[in-house]
Structure 1
Amino acid sequence: MAVAWLALATPPTIDTSEEKPGGDTTVFEEGLNAFSFPAANLDEEGRTNFAIGNSFFRRNWVEAPSSTSARDGLGPHFIARSCGGCHVQDGRGAPPNTFKNGITAEQPIGLLFRLSVLDAQGAPQHEPTYGEQFTNSAVQDVRPEGKVRIRYTELPGQFADGTRYSLRQPHYRFTDLGYGPMQPGTLVSPRIAPQMPGVGLIDAITEADILANVQQQAGRSDGIHGMANRVFNPFAGKDVVGRFGWKANTGSLAHQSAAAFNGDIGITSEKFPREDCTPKQKDCAAAPRGGEKGGSEIDNATLKKVIQYQATLAVPARRGYDNVDVRRGQALFAQAQCAVCHRPSHTTGASAFPSLRGQKITPYTDLLLHDMGKGLADGRPDGLANGQQWRTPPLWGIGLIPDVNNHSFLLHDGRARNTLEAILWHGGEADAARQEVLKMPKADRDALVKFVNSL
């Protein structure tokens, strides 16, 4: 099939509106700050709120008690001191990349680890000693939960034309445990911090649009059958379709943001009022709390500004969208059925932010859960998601990650060192697409990668 594309006199045409993946919110920016601009159509008031939210997104929170009660309450356990600590330059996190004797020599920041154990009925529960999330930092007089060690083994393979490649398989271990051993059989799920631009537009996609993807795929004969996760959204006060997180385990940008403040930085809010201190972590429970008069450590007004900042981060325009190789790569992307899960376009619906409403956008995601095979499995259920399912991640901005964050590590744990490796890790429902790529000659592979990196 790949050879047929090489024989085409002219590549298929594309919709020129794809140059602006965020619709009217799109900005024409590249380089280090490409992910950090406000939506192009944001009004003056919106830009003022954007700047205020940005300050709380980037600045470090401090330990309590502090003279600055608006920013105290860090921890007791935490991964980062700010949102920007994981999402550097509003970009993508990465696993540690320095090694000693084959093991990572640094502690991860933009890579977190969810923990759970299965009860007698097979339902996931928080690990009894270390809770829902492993944290490797702590405030004074509180023990860190421990350290993360990562090593990789190389898995060699080759394309049909004989070209060799190698994929790296991660292995995780927890050491220097502060509160004793974990329960045997603990399930561990690594999660990298994704790039931020466009999250407000994703939030504005209607549930009906997401569920339509389920119906469209239900009748397929090739085994590509995505499903929606359903989660309780504390801001809506009800179960909703999940859309954020690597397993679509949060139901809105507000839900995702407040949960991350709580789990990653240790900052409480109205909807997440408790620290994740387990019964064995008595020093954690006894640590001072921030905020005023025992209230939330981040108040509703400040949290709202942070959410608005994230929601109105602009998606950068595509580069070379009309390049002949990019256009041919897009045709190959569709031919290999990649565009079934990575659905190109949506139109946004209602939003608290007028600039995001009614925008034709091209995030390249169906926001559904798909079985990605044993190679990528974490074995950990999350809502309706099983241990082999992952949400289809949006692809927009992927080609600018090296400019913004000086790396190209992809997938949910950063194991893929580049776009092609990420494709080759696809299995399960995407295995047929992977097989098509393995058959492609180098010119086609290069065109495919060039297209993805133009997004």
Structure 2
Amino acid sequence: MIHLPLASVFVFAAAVAQAETRISTLEDVHLDTIPRTVEEHARIADVTALAVDFSKPEAFETLSAGKATVRVRRNRDAFSQPSENMEFDKQLNFRVGNGLFKKIWVSSPSSTRASDGLGPLYNARSCQRCHIKDGRGHPPEANDENAISMFLRISVPGGDVPDIEGFHATQPHPSYGGQLQDFTIAGLPSEYRLKVSYQEIETFLADGERVELRAPSYEAANPGYGPFGGEAMFSPRVAPQMIGLGLLEAIPAADILALADPEDADGDGISGRPNVVWSREFARAMLGRFGLKAGMPTVHEQSAAAFSGDIGISTPLFPAESGDCTALQVGCLAAPDGEDPERDGFEVDQTAMDLVTFYSRNLAVPSRRNVDDAQVLRGKEMFYQAGCPACHQPKFVTHRLVDQPEQSFQLIWPYSDLLLHDMGEGLADERPEAVANGREWRTPPLWGIGLTQQVSGHSYFLHDGRARSLLEAVLWHGGEGQAARDNVAQMPRVDRDALIAFLESL
């Protein structure tokens, strides 16, 4: 664990306090909205109320994404469909965006000028290489250095305290930047090789069932640009699934903030709080929604940051042609780039970014399965009895939007509050991100989770893929999730199996 100097702790605490007093000023400046009427507010409160009758499905429960929901495909393309309510003339934009998402980038100079600019340092050669089939990535197996859609974020304590809500208690590593890249163009050393090993932890449930959890240990081996130093903080990240992002972006910030209870005023042991981040796009503090710690405010900013950090591609929002290279990586900064006057001097211009953003916003959520099955209904009741909805908020209604009909005024079922929660020491990475501390993670949406094996070819869950099943993922819950975890562990086998069946139906 890295400890901040005492003076930094006081500064950080003051900044967080300032954030919480000003949090009510957060606005959805990224959306062109139509205000709700008093009658609509009443209807929304009624339709998003938590379930109380588990004898039958709720109205519209099969439509996880409202009218944007698509029929389930029985192959690996289940997460790669456009919003069902998308107008025909927009589907070309979706497919062009898909092409850019899957494009394999090459290093400069190259005869394929439209595809050069890779690196110099990178984690993948395309977006699809991490978000495999628009689903989850997965970590390397033990002692396998070929990490698959996984990397380590890196930072050191410190950073300035800007006059914004999102105080960053960390800053990029002076030699390695904000994340470690394990690949590089010819002639340059890569930053590291990721090694992982696992220790099996034996756990017994109340009925005697034995479960093996695997606790990972990570090593940033073969550092290419000098030692990391004792203050370096690392955080393992596996690429999350891509579905429903535009709908999450369209949830009113006020509805998310209404669920926050940072002081646990209601005494239920759940003290979710929002991450407040600085938006490079809008030059203001905004509600964080995307990323494993809710460190990004919009789909566009998340996508542009990934181009820069993961592939080394410049965009108008992140214009550095050398990506995440630092001032100390002289050879990296001097490497040729693919910036092109025909693309406004970037490797990906704003037109292309708009297409990638449109694609990412409109990857559709498949419909629920087996919602009226008796075991699934029993599992839903167990989900509620265990206390899971305290973080995994079932329903929201999105904003009315002027220019995004696909996401406008939809009843959606993401099963997430998009807030930060302390998940205990077992899942802690000890690395702050904006307001989030080293034990906090954003509640991940659960929609589509039952299709993970079908789409991604594995059933690895949590931020680093350590859990090999949904039950293992539940049993890793600590902190604010401890009570729910213990409730599941105490269930009879028949009820626990029903709970898993319910999750697999999402």
Q: Indicate the TM-score class for this superposition, using the shorter chain for normalisation.
A: over 0.9
What is the letter of the counterpart of residue 29 of structure 1?
Answer: V
Maintained 8 Å contact 2:294/2:420:
yes
- Is 1:326 aligned with 2:357? no
Shift of 1:277: 1.4
* Match of residue 106, structure 2, among 49, 62, 66: 62
Query: What are structure 2's unaligned runs of at least 5 residues?
Result: 1-52, 161-167
Maintained 8 Å contact 2:130/2:149:
yes
Shift of 1:217: 8.7
- Is 1:119 aligned with 2:162? no
* Match of residue 351, structure 2, among 281, 297, 301: 301
- Is 1:434 aligned with 2:477? no
For 1:179 and 1:11, how far apart are their aligned partners in 2?
58
- Is 1:32 aligned with 2:76? yes
For 2:263 and 2:270, how far apart are their aligned partners in 1?
6
What is the letter of the counterpart of residue 283 of structure 1?
Answer: G
For 1:22 and 1:88, how far apart are their aligned partners in 2?
21
For 1:341 and 1:217, how far apart are their aligned partners in 2?
15
* Match of residue 291, structure 2, among 230, 245, 262: 245
Q: In the alignment, what sits opposite 2:249?
A: 203
Maintained 8 Å contact 2:303/2:357:
yes
For 2:156 and 2:263, how far apart are their aligned partners in 1?
32
Q: In the alignment, what sits opposite 1:186?
A: 232
What is the letter of the counterpart of residue 109 of structure 1?
Answer: I
For 2:424 and 2:327, how far apart are their aligned partners in 1?
36
Q: In the alignment, what sits opposite 1:345?
A: 395
Identity of aligned residues (%): 46
For 2:418 and 2:251, how far apart are their aligned partners in 1?
10
Query: What are structure 1's unaligned runs of at least 5 residues?
Result: 1-9, 98-102
For 2:158 and 2:145, how far apart are their aligned partners in 1?
34
Maintained 8 Å contact 1:21/1:363:
yes
For 2:413 and 2:169, how far apart are their aligned partners in 1?
36
Q: In the alignment, what sits opposite 1:48?
A: 92
- Is 1:412 aligned with 2:471? no
**Cα deviation code 1:203-233 (max 9, x no counterpart):** 1111111111115994321220100001111
**Cα deviation code 1:357-399 (max 9, x no counterpart):** 0010000000000000000000000000000000000000100
Maintained 8 Å contact 1:371/1:429:
yes
Maintained 8 Å contact 2:395/2:412:
yes
Q: In the alignment, what sits opposite 1:109?
A: 148
Shift of 1:77: 0.3
Maintained 8 Å contact 2:398/2:409:
yes
Q: In the alignment, what sits opposite 1:86?
A: 130
Q: In the alignment, what sits opposite 1:283?
A: 331
**Cα deviation code 1:167-213 (max 9, x no counterpart):** 00000001121112111131111111111110111111111111111
Question: Helix, strand or coil: the match of 1:17?
Answer: coil
Maintained 8 Å contact 1:70/1:291:
no
For 2:116 and 2:377, how far apart are their aligned partners in 1?
50
Task: Tell me the matched-pair count.
Answer: 441
Q: In the alignment, what sits opposite 2:315?
A: 269
- Is 1:72 aligned with 2:72? no
What is the letter of the counterpart of residue 104 of structure 1?
Answer: N
Q: Normalization by structure 2: what TM-score?
A: 0.85
For 1:79 and 1:419, how far apart are their aligned partners in 2?
27
Superposed CA RMSD: 1.7
Task: Say if 1:76 and 1:216 are closer, same or farther in 2 by CA, change over 3 A.
Answer: closer
Task: Say if 1:187 and 1:350 are closer, same or farther in 2 by CA, change over 3 A.
Answer: farther
Q: In the alignment, what sits opposite 2:190?
A: 144
Maintained 8 Å contact 1:127/1:183:
no
Shift of 1:109: 3.2
Question: Helix, strand or coil: the match of 1:85?
Answer: coil
Maintained 8 Å contact 2:419/2:442:
yes
Maintained 8 Å contact 1:167/1:416:
yes
Q: Normalization by structure 1: what TM-score?
A: 0.94
Shift of 1:414: 0.2
Q: Return structure 1 stretches of 4+ with deviation > 6 angstroms.
A: none
What is the letter of the counterpart of residue 245 of structure 1?
Answer: G
For 1:20 and 1:341, how far apart are their aligned partners in 2?
21
- Is 1:22 aligned with 2:68? no
**Cα deviation code 1:251-293 (max 9, x no counterpart):** 0101110001110000111111122212331111111111214
Maintained 8 Å contact 2:290/2:299:
yes
